[in-house]
């Protein structure tokens, strides 16, 4: 037989629609998107662009346009494509299993075009039969329906300037202020029965809002297709598809394009730790535990009732890393925030003794997950060196942001969960008692530069009875708003990137509820508008003042002036830039008592100007400002030769800068 491209055609009739199937024959050189090198990379776990091979791809074969299908199902006895184009008949369009041991089944169906619904019918070698969505599908039917959709990803991008700027200025050298949001509940069309905004409708509002508020990035809670809306996107079935609840893949691309044109970066939450057990998803895919571990002590998560990926299986690692690169490639995403990293790192995570299997050395570290995370980060940085990765890792695992070559996991940043817990605990104290808890608010600086940190005030802190941020604050309404202004100003003065969940940007009173829009009507209240104003100004200041970001991840950028004034519950510190003239002094008063003539020590003599005061009337404060410049005097204070007096308003932060 000649070694050339061959195909077998047959007329197939389904209802009123006639289709042709051109299946891959057993002859060498028959039609396939896979080369031998692709198969070798796939089997070794090193193929990181599988989205160009597996899944459904519109092609032209022998002059006939149709769709090439390929799916990994090594333990299947039969695989066929079923869809609306053949009446969901399980026998019409069988795929052919490759003979190279890859476990891939493939075939070409003529005249199947974009927009057609399909699934794979799989019969396993043990007789198990199931209909599965395509793990690599670019588009899914809108839940609760579960079919996948043949889709082309063609889109004409307009963000060349953004991408060029990203390449020449790595984000970690710049301010990073993230607006975390849930697409389904940011705003809704209340006049249309509270329906979701589409991606394109969001594109008409979100970029302008983020630009107005001066955020640098927006972080979307997982947009990948998920069957249960109440999971917030953390239980995924369609890893390669933005949720069709809000539109098409191109609609989502348009939203990203518009954000980039407004100067806003885009971060996606990504969930490589676990997946739901829905029958149409990844679980028990070919009649075996293909993507997950078979032993529930390794393959089932007791908290989330979900399956855990088998990070030791090469093809699974290739699936996940391909998925990460897919979003960076096809959707121009600027960063990935990896969810639930701690659950991946520990074999005994949320398990009692006897409910987990030790590693080969008898330890509880998940060596396969560690290796996977290192490979993931290496791949991202190899192909997209101007993209950053962030770990939500809630333990003290060492080296999360160290390079893999130095034994670390290779992330660029890590959420500073300890800062979040200690800070919120401290702020919930009655101010009278804060002097007994000052260690809570200063402890984070003992380890602030052990990793590169993001300070998160995220969605997790405003749900399930935890209360909104404003309602966590003690005291009457005035004190609550003053405390919240104080919290935000303290956060922006603390080293690290910043993250704030939607609703906290205007001090929404009630907890976040995913079934409803944020209560934007609260912005009609001056106190709530004041919170918006202070955040806008803090973001602006963050961008304007190099001392607030140039050494965000280094001791070079921070120095305590006084962390020991427990009696007055006052903290003072310096943030430093590359040039001394850029240095700033922060002073925070955590009590509702005005401090007149409060002295701050300094070694840099001359005049200082107040450039920010959280008690400003514009923010809803009492307007006790240091309007005039303040002069230093040779009065020693805080171990320094000189000092200057300031008026320190109640529950406030002020920022001062030296004047040449």
Q: Which residues does the annotation mark as catalytic?
A: 339, 392
Q: CB of 271 within 8 A of CB of 236?
A: yes
Question: Residue 180: beta bridge partners?
Answer: 219, 501
> For residue 457, which of 425, 491, 501 has the smallest C-alpha distance?
501
Q: CB of 391 within 8 A of CB of 415?
A: yes
Q: From CA 340, how far away is CA 24, in angstroms rounded?
A: 41
Question: Residue 599: beta bridge partners?
Answer: 645
Q: From CA 233, how far away is CA 220, in angstroms rounded?
A: 10
Q: CB of 391 within 8 A of CB of 341?
A: yes
Q: CB of 209 within 8 A of CB of 255?
A: no
User: How many of the other CB atoms lie within 10 Å of CB of 658?
Assistant: 18
Q: From CA 218, how far away is CA 199, in angstroms rounded?
A: 14
H/E stretch holding 64:
strand 64-72
Q: From CA 495, how far away is CA 501, in angstroms rounded?
A: 19
User: How many of the other CB atoms lie within 10 Å of CB of 615?
Assistant: 25
Q: From CA 387, how far away is CA 267, in angstroms rounded?
A: 10
Q: CB of 597 within 8 A of CB of 648?
A: no
Q: From CA 79, how far away is CA 70, in angstroms rounded?
A: 10
Q: From CA 531, how far away is CA 209, in angstroms rounded?
A: 15
Q: From CA 650, how far away is CA 469, in angstroms rounded?
A: 19
Provide the 8-state DSSP code for 365.
Answer: B
Q: CB of 522 within 8 A of CB of 506?
A: yes
Q: From CA 143, how far away is CA 140, in angstroms rounded?
A: 8
Q: From CA 129, how far away is CA 287, in angstroms rounded?
A: 7
Q: CB of 148 within 8 A of CB of 137?
A: yes
The torsion region of residue 503 among left (phi > 0), alpha (psi -120 to 50) and beta comes to left
Locus of tokens 């509270």: 194
Q: From CA 243, how far away is CA 403, in angstroms rounded?
A: 33
């Amino acid at each position: 037989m000649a070694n050339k491209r061959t195909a077998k055609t047959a007329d197939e009739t389904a209802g009123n629609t006639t289709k042709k199937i051109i299946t891959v024959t057993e002859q060498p050189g028959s039609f396939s998107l896979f080369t031998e090198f692709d198969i070798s990379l796939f089997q070794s776990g090193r193929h990181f662009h599988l989205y160009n091979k597996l899944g459904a791809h519109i092609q032209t074969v022998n002059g006939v346009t149709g769709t090439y299908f390929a799916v990994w199902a090594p333990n299947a006895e039969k695989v066929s494509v079923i869809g609306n184009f053949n009446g969901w008949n399980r026998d019409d369009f069988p795929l052919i299993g490759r003979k190279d041991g890859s476990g891939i089944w493939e075939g070409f169906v003529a005249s199947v075009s974009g927009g057609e619904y399909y699934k794979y019918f799989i019969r396993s070698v043990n007789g198990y039969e199931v209909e599965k969505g395509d793990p690599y599908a670019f588009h899914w039917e809108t839940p609760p329906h579960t079919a996948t959709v043949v889709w082309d990803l063609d889109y004409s991008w307009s963000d060349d300037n953004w991408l060029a700027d990203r390449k020449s200025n790595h984000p970690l050298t710049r301010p990073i202020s993230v607006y975390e949001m849930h697409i389904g509940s940011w705003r809704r069309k209340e006049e249309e029965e509270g329906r979701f905004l589409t991606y394109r409708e969001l594109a008409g509002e979100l970029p302008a809002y983020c630009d107005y508020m001066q955020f640098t990035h927006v972080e979307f809670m997982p947009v990948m297709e998920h069957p249960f809306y109440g999971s917030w996107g953390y239980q995924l079935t369609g890893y390669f598809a933005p949720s069709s609840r809000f539109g098409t893949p191109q609609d989502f691309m348009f939203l990203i394009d518009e954000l980039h044109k407004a100067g806003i970066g885009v971060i996606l939450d990504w969930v490589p730790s676990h997946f739901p057990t829905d029958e149409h998803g990844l679980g028990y895919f070919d009649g075996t535990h293909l993507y997950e571990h078979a032993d529930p002590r390794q393959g089932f998560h007791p908290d989330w009732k979900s399956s855990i990926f088998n990070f030791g299986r090469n093809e699974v690692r290739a699936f996940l890393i391909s998925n990460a690169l897919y979003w960076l490639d096809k959707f121009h995403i600027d960063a990935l925030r990896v969810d639930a990293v701690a659950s991946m790192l520990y074999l005994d995570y949320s398990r009692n003794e006897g409910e987990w299997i030790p590693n080969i050395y008898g330890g509880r570290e998940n060596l396969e997950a560690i290796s996977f995370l290192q490979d993931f980060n290496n791949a991202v940085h190899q192909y997209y060196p101007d993209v950053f990765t962030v770990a939500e890792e809630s333990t003290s695992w060492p080296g999360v942001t160290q390079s893999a070559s130095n034994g670390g996991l290779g992330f660029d940043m890590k959420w500073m969960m300890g800062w979040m817990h200690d800070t919120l605990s401290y702020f919930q104290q009655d101010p009278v008692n804060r002097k007994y808890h000052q260690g809570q608010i200063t402890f984070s600086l003992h380890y602030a530069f052990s990793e590169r940190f993001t300070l998160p005030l995220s969605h997790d802190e405003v749900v399930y009875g935890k209360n909104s941020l404003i309602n966590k604050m003690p005291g009457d309404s005035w004190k609550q708003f003053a405390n919240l202004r104080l919290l935000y100003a303290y956060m922006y003065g603390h080293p690290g990137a910043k993250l704030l969940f939607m609703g906290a940007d205007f001090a929404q009173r009630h907890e976040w509820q995913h079934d409803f829009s944020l209560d934007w009507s609260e912005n009609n209240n001056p106190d709530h508008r004041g919170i918006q104003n202070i955040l806008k100004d803090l973001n602006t200041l963050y961008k304007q003042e190099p001392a607030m970001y140039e050494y965000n991840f280094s001791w070079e950028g921070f120095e305590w002036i006084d962390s020991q004034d427990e009696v007055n519950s006052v903290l003072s510190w310096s943030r430093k830039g590359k040039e001394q003239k850029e240095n700033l002094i922060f002073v925070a008063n955590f009590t509702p008592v005005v401090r007149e003539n409060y002295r701050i020590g300094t070694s840099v003599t001359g005049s200082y100007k107040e450039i920010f005061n959280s008690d400003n009337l514009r923010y809803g404060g009492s307007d006790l400002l240091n309007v005039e410049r303040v002069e230093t005097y040779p009065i020693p204070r805080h171990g320094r030769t000189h000092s200057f007096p300031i008026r320190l308003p109640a529950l406030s932060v002020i920022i001062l800068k030296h004047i040449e």
